[in-house]
Amino acid sequence: MNRRSFYFLFFLTCLVIAAGGIATRKLVESLPAVSTLEDYLPHLTTRVYDYKGNVLSELFTERRTWIPLNEIPTDLQNAFLSIEDDQFYSHWGISPTGMARATIKNFLAGRAVQGGSTITQQLSKLIFLTQEKTLARKFRELLLSLQIERRFSKEEIFQMYLNQVYFGHGAYGVAAAAKTFFGKRVQDLNLSECALLAGLPRLPQYYSPFNHKERALGRRATVLARMAELEHISPAEKDLANRVPLQMKRTPYSSATAPYFIEYLRQILEPKYGSDLLYRGGLSIHTTLDLKMQESAEKIFSESLEQFDKEYGATAELLRVKEKIAELKKSGAAPSAFNIKPSTTIPEVQGALIAIEPRTGAIRALIGGRDFSESQFNRAIQSKRQPGSTFKPFVWLAALDSGLTAASIVPDVPTAFKNDGQNWRLIEGATDAFSIRQATADVPEDKVWVPKNYDGKYFGPMTLRKGLSFSRNIVSIRLIDRLGAPKVAEWAQKCGIKSPLDAIHSLALGTSVTTLIELTSALGTFAAEGIHTEPYAIAKIVDFDGKVLEENFPQEKETVSPQLSYLMNHLLRTVVTEGTARSANVIPKFVAGKTGTSQDQRDLWFVGYTPDLICGAWMGYDDFSSLGKKMAASGILVPWWTEFMLAATKDVPSKDPVVPEGITFAKIDRQTGFLSLPTCPKVALEAFIAGTEPKEFCPLDHAERKESEMETEE
């Protein structure tokens, strides 16, 4: 070689070395900092628990549970080392001999049966790199592996790998894989199961035991053979493990239980913690829900609403068509527009239920609709509807607070109001149809209001107890006229109604809209002896490291005096024993509550309670159509509410509300409200705040008057 050629080759070699050095330097500078692994937190699964520790649901982008290396079975560790990297504890991040051996075996097999990458290389690819198959990506993988090995111990690297690797079917990490494929904790896996799991990460879909059983068994045998070859197990253990039949147990992670409750939690937590922490942070969300109670509620709820559709759906659709035609006629539409036929697809009635522990506010069951997959609108929390007569307890509470008693007499007679330009005024003396017509003859129609009872009947003077038990509209309206609507609205809001209330006479009929959760919580004040407790769903949230992020406790406020609360319990009890909710009287406990039906039978309600649990239920159509003429909660809704409460309170000891100091009892004549005489045919033991009980005896010679003539109404 002459001098010129030597210098040319020398220059070319230096140029190549310099270019390689510059390229390597740039490649190294572009590598992610492996120091981030010190604070690395993989995407972990957030779990939602009921109040007894049962898993309700899981929230995740990647299903994963982090577990320390010392809790991972030795067989599983050895299985991975055997099939993935048997020189892991001796090499320095890369294994040239391993890559060469894998290349030869894969070539002879005609497919990928063994990988050449070390566990450290796989970890660098899993966390930092893409899956692209280029020379540059492979070179970066090698450089990253060397850096990882310099910074972390072998145990730390192996732990990160086992918690990061993907097994298929949404399972990341060994803990999630054990749960997904075998329904077990990873600590409980046997040798056969460990070998099967270790064989999956190479080709998760190809070796899936759910989809390709024979391939999975073959791969398991390969892992076991390699373990025996490396003397991690004996030949006898290998043979025994190979004979174990494949027993998979697919574990569903996305529970269909309580979907409206889970979405309610999400709406509370996502703005507070962000979606990244909520879905990837491995939080433990401990809720107030009772899984057993929830499952019972969902079954009863679903079956009952399906039965309603079968029995009444077609009738409701005919009524819906009639209403549309009436609206068209009223608007002056052409007769041709009246040709509307009933739909062949009957709309499904909707419903909602919420059960709350009145003394703590803990939500034990929640259903927001029939099918969460079709409608995520939560009718227990978000829907505002007219509560109808379910609102009446607040009218009676205001009456008791004003000095009236359960024995006070209020007339259930035809009643009319006239607007004087500022307020609605009761037309005194107009107590029959004739006198009302005379008194309003010269008054514009829009200035006259003639409320009616549900059944169109009137039964004359009656006690407050009877008026509430049989939900007489006229009694409620006369009470609110006497007390003032603002006073009633104030009491309702003190008890927990947060929705705005129109302080007008029709408030007595429940015309101001509210939500089921508000109404249930508010009436729960009576069940809790006058203490209103805000409903809540989240007891505690713990992060991945066990740190408590938040913990919630009952928020109590004394709203109603124990005496007034006891009187309300005493009154609402009669609604169940002899009033509109008599079908609930089969529950062998103290049960009280109030039914309700809104205008034109658009909503059915019942909120009832024992001292330990209050449950509110609602039925209606989302488009506010009528459920049907003469539909009432007493015959439609109360029966399935009762079925739920029978199951929910089955194991709860029976108890009655505590009688507070300052309450006295007296026997009264049920017709007149006076103290009873031996000649009075209907006598009741009535509760009073001491000093307000009647002082006079019944003055009447009673004419027999059958209460059975009185229709129950809402």
Residue 562: count of CB within 10 angstroms of its CB: 18
Task: In whole angstroms, give the CA distance from residue 341 to residue 318.
Answer: 9
Contacting residues for 334 by C-beta, under 8 A, at least 6 apart: none
User: What's the pLDDT score for residue 630?
Assistant: 82
Confirm whether 711 is a catalytic residue: no
> Given pLDDT bands bounded at 50, 70 and 90, which one contains residue 660?
very high
Q: Which sign does the torsion angle of CA 372, 376, 377, 378 carry?
A: positive
Active-site hit among 58, 84, 317, 348 = 84
- Strands in 55-59's sheet, in edge-to-edge order, are 55-59, 46-49, 284-287, 538-542, 548-551
Rounded (5°) CA angle 53-58-59: 135
Could you tell me where in the chain the CATH 1.10.3810.10 domains are found? 61-243
User: What's the pLDDT score for residue 276?
Assistant: 77
What is the pLDDT averaged over residues 513-534?
97
Residue 620: count of CB within 10 angstroms of its CB: 24
Which residues make beta-bridge pairs with 166?
172
Chain center to CA of 347: 24
What is the pLDDT averaged over residues 647-665?
94
User: What's the pLDDT score for residue 385?
Assistant: 97
Active-site hit among 192, 383, 389, 625 = 389
The secondary structure of residue 675, as a DSSP letter, is B
The type of residue at 291 is L
Class of domain 256-387+513-657: alpha beta
Percent of the chain with pLDDT over 70: 81
The residue length of the chain stands at 714
Per-residue H/E/C for 121-156: HHHHHHHHCCCCCCHHHHHHHHHHHHHHHHHCCHHH
User: What's the pLDDT score for residue 42?
Assistant: 64
The secondary structure of residue 82, as a DSSP letter, is H
Rounded (5°) CA angle 57-61-63: 60
Task: In whole angstroms, give the CA distance from residue 653 to residue 610.
Answer: 11
* Residue 435 token pair: 């006198």
Q: Topology of domain 61-243, per CATH?
A: Penicillin binding protein transpeptidase fold (1.10.3810)
End-to-end CA distance of the chain: 113
Q: What is the per-residue pLDDT across 42-53, written as a single tens digit (0 to 9) for each?
A: 667 889 999 999
Contacting residues for 96 by C-beta, under 8 A, at least 6 apart: none
User: What's the pLDDT score for residue 468?
Assistant: 97
Q: Given the DSSP bridges, would you call strands 538-542 and 284-287 parallel, antiparallel or unpaired?
A: antiparallel
User: What's the pLDDT score for residue 248?
Assistant: 84
CA-wise closest residue to 62 among 154, 209, 164, 156: 164
Q: How many CA atoms lie less than 13 Å away from 1 in the CB half-sphere?
A: 8
Q: Which sign does the torsion angle of CA 152, 156, 160, 162 carry?
A: positive
The secondary structure of residue 684, as a DSSP letter, is E
Confirm whether 389 is a catalytic residue: yes
Distances from the Cα of 241 to the Cα of 192, 198, 220, angstroms:
5, 14, 9
Least confident of 2-6, 296-300, 495-499: 2-6
Task: In whole angstroms, give the CA distance from residue 438 to residue 256.
Answer: 62
> Given pLDDT bands bounded at 50, 70 and 90, which one contains residue 91?
confident
Distances from the Cα of 46 to the Cα of 55, 266, 373, 478, 481, angstroms:
11, 12, 21, 55, 54
> Given pLDDT bands bounded at 50, 70 and 90, which one contains residue 40?
low
User: What's the pLDDT score for residue 313?
Assistant: 80
> Given pLDDT bands bounded at 50, 70 and 90, which one contains residue 711?
very low
> Given pLDDT bands bounded at 50, 70 and 90, which one contains residue 28?
very low
> Given pLDDT bands bounded at 50, 70 and 90, which one contains residue 8?
low
The secondary structure of residue 87, as a DSSP letter, is T
Distances from the Cα of 540 to the Cα of 302, 487, 532, angstroms:
30, 38, 21
What is the pLDDT averaged over residues 355-362?
98
What is the pLDDT averaged over residues 300-306?
96
User: What's the pLDDT score for residue 398?
Assistant: 98
- Look at residue 543 and give its three-state secondary structure: coil
| Distant-in-sequence contacts of 224-227, Cβ < 8 A, 24+ apart | 224/191, 224/192, 224/195, 226/82, 226/83, 226/86, 227/78, 227/79, 227/82, 227/195
What is the pLDDT averaged over residues 457-461?
94
> Given pLDDT bands bounded at 50, 70 and 90, which one contains residue 159?
very high
What is the pLDDT averaged over residues 206-231?
94
Average pLDDT, the chain: 86
Could you tell me where in the chain the CATH 3.40.710.10 domains are found? 256-387+513-657
Whether pLDDT at 186 is above 60 = yes
Higher-pLDDT residue of 111 and 422 is 422
- Look at residue 462 and give its three-state secondary structure: strand
Task: In whole angstroms, give the CA distance from residue 287 to residue 270.
Answer: 16
User: What's the pLDDT score for residue 147?
Assistant: 78
| Global pTM value | 0.75
DSSP string, 658-671: ---TTEEEEEEETT
Higher-pLDDT residue of 598 and 127 is 598
The type of residue at 704 is E
Least confident of 29-33, 227-231, 372-376, 669-673: 29-33
Q: Output phi, psi for 88, to 5 deg.
A: -55, -45
Q: Which sign does the torsion angle of CA 635, 641, 642, 643 carry?
A: positive
What is the pLDDT averaged over residues 592-608?
95
User: What's the pLDDT score for residue 629?
Assistant: 83
Task: In whole angstroms, give the CA distance from residue 207 to residue 349.
Answer: 47
Task: In whole angstroms, give the CA distance from residue 232 to residue 79.
Answer: 8
DSSP string, 597-657: E-GGG-EEEEEEE-SS-EEEEEEE-TT-----TT--HHHHTHHHHHHHHHHHTTTSPP---
Task: In whole angstroms, give the CA distance from residue 636 to residue 631.
Answer: 7
User: What's the pLDDT score for residue 207?
Assistant: 94
* Residue 532 token pair: 């209103």
Task: In whole angstroms, give the CA distance from residue 472 to residue 594.
Answer: 12
Whether pLDDT at 231 is above 60 = yes
CB-neighbour burial class of residue 167 (10 A; exposed 0-12, middle 13-18, buried 19+): buried
Task: In whole angstroms, give the CA distance from residue 420 to residue 422.
Answer: 6
What is the pLDDT averaged over residues 687-709?
77
Percent of the chain with pLDDT over 90: 60
Contacting residues for 566 by C-beta, under 8 A, at least 6 apart: 529, 657, 658, 659, 660, 663, 687
User: What's the pLDDT score for residue 569?
Assistant: 97
Whether pLDDT at 35 is above 90 = no
Least confident of 49-63, 231-245, 662-676: 49-63
Q: Given the DSSP bridges, would you call strands 592-597 and 409-412 parallel, antiparallel or unpaired?
A: unpaired
User: What's the pLDDT score for residue 684?
Assistant: 92
Whether pLDDT at 534 is above 60 = yes
User: What's the pLDDT score for residue 172?
Assistant: 84
CA-wise closest residue to 478 among 569, 573, 396, 393: 396
Whether pLDDT at 14 is above 70 = no
What is the pLDDT averaged over residues 417-428?
90
The secondary structure of residue 374, as a DSSP letter, is T
Which residues make beta-bridge pairs with 46?
59
Distances from the Cα of 606 to the Cα of 126, 234, 337, 353, 397, angstroms:
56, 68, 39, 10, 18
Which residues make beta-bridge pairs with 355?
365, 615
Contact 652, 610 (CB under 8 A): yes
> Given pLDDT bands bounded at 50, 70 and 90, which one contains residue 335?
low
